[in-house]
Amino acid sequence: MQTDEVIQKFKNTGALLEGHFLLSSGLHSSAYLQCAIALQSTADAIEFGTALAEHFRSAGVETVASPAIGGLVIGYEVARQLGVKFIWTEREQGQMTLRRGFSVAKGERVLVVEDVITTGGSTRDTIEALKRAGANVVAAAAIIDRSAGSADVGVPLTALAALKVLSVSAAECDACKLGEPVVKPGSRKVAK
Ligand SMILES: [Zn+2]
């Protein structure tokens, strides 16, 4: 699956919007990404999962682990295609941890799968949780790397597509300077 095909699928489904957006961080951006929208289509989820699984067919992965909630759909699909176990991490009082009786054997070869890498924070926290539990985290993967390669998660990272989207404060926003109304994604209303 080519990078353009991934991006095109995101645009076609409305998972990637272009315009003038107010993000939950308060910053303004010319693009808005909502991976869950792209993964609503089970056929597309299978395609993304196939493309990611291809990278790791011979990597000796024993388990796929994903940070909840974002990583669950794609992580499960990659695990299913590799024919391996799937587990997830979730935050407990702020700390990413394995719950629900999930465990890994000492040295178990784990691949961490996310939907989108932004700063790499949840992937790094998931890797740390797995290492504390004794796993050998061999690699990380995501459908989209929003850091365009700059996020360091401490293990080799594979993404189907990279996307560099700048977020700026309203004061620095070119679209604001042009007087374009800013849209809050998820609502149909124009913000402010
Ligand atoms: Zn703006």
Tokens encoding 140: 């990380």
State how beta strands 85-92 and 95-98 pair: antiparallel
18-38 pLDDT per residue, tens = 999 998 888 999 999 999 999
Q: 192 CA to middle of ligand 1, Å?
A: 11
Q: 125 CA to middle of ligand 1, Å?
A: 32
56-107 pLDDT per residue, tens = 999 999 999 999 999 999 999 999 999 999 999 999 999 999 999 999 999 9
pTM of the model as a whole: 0.90
Between the CA atoms of 47, 50, 52 and 57, what dihedral angle is there, to the nearest 10 degrees? -170
User: Between these two residues, 134 and 119, which has the higher pLDDT value?
Assistant: 134
In this structure, which residues have their CB less than 5 angstroms from ion ligand 1?
28, 173, 175-176, 182
122-145 pLDDT per residue, tens = 999 999 999 999 999 999 999 999
Q: What's the pLDDT at 152?
A: 93
Query: Position of tokens 């176990």?
Result: 85
Q: What's the pLDDT at 160?
A: 97
Q: 21 CA to middle of ligand 1, Å?
A: 7
Instruction: Looking at 24-178, list the stretches that DSSP marks H as alpha helix, in order from N- to C-terminal side.
Output: 35-38, 42-55, 72-82, 121-132, 174-177
Q: What's the pLDDT at 188?
A: 55
